[in-house]
Amino acid sequence: MPFRWNPDLTPNDVTPEALFRQRRRLIQSAAMAGIGALLGLNPGRVAIGGEFMTEVKKGVVTLDESVTPFKDASSYTNFYELGSGKTDPSTHAERLQIAPWHVVIDGEVSRPVRLALDDLLRPHALEERVYRLRCVEAWSMVIPWIGFPLGEVLKRFEPTGNARYVAFETIHDPDHLPGQAQRSLEWPYREGLRLDEAMHPLTILAVGMYGRTLPNQNGAPLRLVVPWKYGFKSIKSIVRISLTEKQPPTSWNRQAPSEYGFYANVNPNVDHPRWDQSKERRIGEFLRRKTLPFNGYEEQVASLYHGMDLRQFF
């Protein structure tokens, strides 16, 4: 079903009631306030390594679909830095060192900068948005992400007239991350978007999910979410955002260009060479369902690709 914009949605609509009530009790507790003061954080900012989040706006984007249980969304994941198996990331999550965390923004911007995570987030209001996540292996989830539009960040640092693309780079720490000790991919992991894709209001930087700060296995402390593309475009644990004039290299496209295109738009009419993409299995469901073009966001994003051959530019 298409998403709807619903400013009246409450967290109770997208979060199990028990979790919602527990979250409210913890937010109101003096202990949580003491932790925030100890860390020197402003209200509404992200406590790196914390669990619950405060001052998140009501959901402005939601779906008429059931939300995937948190247990499934946090234990069945792709995060090759922590291992190639679906349960490896949750098994090795503690290996990811997320404090302190800095992000570099450079390239074709007027104001290149290296910022601590809290300084990057400080001007931005956090929103809860319920998006589909569709993975190229033909499984999918519905997740309440917490974040803010990437476009707000890019505007803040003033892209130059030469900026055409946005490149992303993840943490490189082979001493701690078991997947990076292997040669399954060329490290560090890299991804990229066209500038207009990055500026689209559906594209967000996520710092949380299900009312919590991002678990390590889901890409803590900062990840990209592009809901109309396959999940591998949503790079995790971001340390660099660079604006470029030329199309940047991306990890899976370099690894297997015949299987993973730069655009990676969900297109049920273009099969992966090794499996069918016309149907998907929603985690928690037995039967497979029909895959929607652009993951169900066709009305909002199809105009970005007007006139393009989406079989050639897959």
Each residue's pLDDT tens digit, 140-166: 999 999 999 999 999 999 999 999 999
User: pLDDT value at position 60?
Assistant: 65
Q: What percentage of residues in the chain have a pLDDT greater than 70?
A: 83
Specify if 314 maps to a domain: no
The mean predicted confidence, pLDDT, of the chain is 86
Domain that holds residue 147: 11-305
Closest CA to 247 of 207, 312, 192, 303: 192
Cα–Cα dist 59/49, whole Å: 23
Each residue's pLDDT tens digit, 32-49: 333 333 333 333 344 444
More confident residue, 26 or 200: 200
Beta strand segments in 9-164, E: 56-61, 102-107, 113-116, 126-134, 139-149
This prediction has a pTM of 0.84
Cβ–Cβ under 8 Å, residues 67 and 17:
no
| CA distances in angstroms from 173 to 79, 177, 291, listed in the order given | 14, 6, 36
| CA distances in angstroms from 58 to 2, 12, 14, 129, 314, listed in the order given | 19, 10, 10, 9, 35
Q: Indicate if the pLDDT at residue 24 is higher than 90.
A: no
Q: Indicate if the pLDDT at residue 27 is higher than 50.
A: no
User: pLDDT value at position 64?
Assistant: 85
Specify if 3 maps to a domain: no
User: pLDDT value at position 214?
Assistant: 96
10: confidence class by pLDDT, cuts 50, 70, 90: very low
Specify if 295 maps to a domain: yes
| Number of structural domains in the chain | 1
18: confidence class by pLDDT, cuts 50, 70, 90: very low
Specify if 148 maps to a domain: yes
List the CATH number of the domain containing 251.
3.90.420.10
Cα–Cα dist 70/75, whole Å: 8
Each residue's pLDDT tens digit, 222-248: 999 999 999 999 999 999 999 999 999
Q: What's the N-to-C CA distance of the chain in angstroms?
A: 23
Specify if 313 maps to a domain: no
Specify if 99 maps to a domain: yes
Beta strand segments in 1-138, E: 56-61, 102-107, 113-116, 126-134
51: confidence class by pLDDT, cuts 50, 70, 90: confident
Q: Indicate if the pLDDT at residue 82 is higher than 70.
A: yes
Specify if 94 maps to a domain: yes
Q: Indicate if the pLDDT at residue 270 is higher than 80.
A: yes
More confident residue, 177 or 16: 177
Cβ–Cβ under 8 Å, residues 177 and 185:
no
Cα–Cα dist 24/14, whole Å: 15
CA 143, 311, 137: angle at the middle one, nearest 5? 35
Q: Indicate if the pLDDT at residue 206 is higher than 60.
A: yes
Specify if 96 maps to a domain: yes
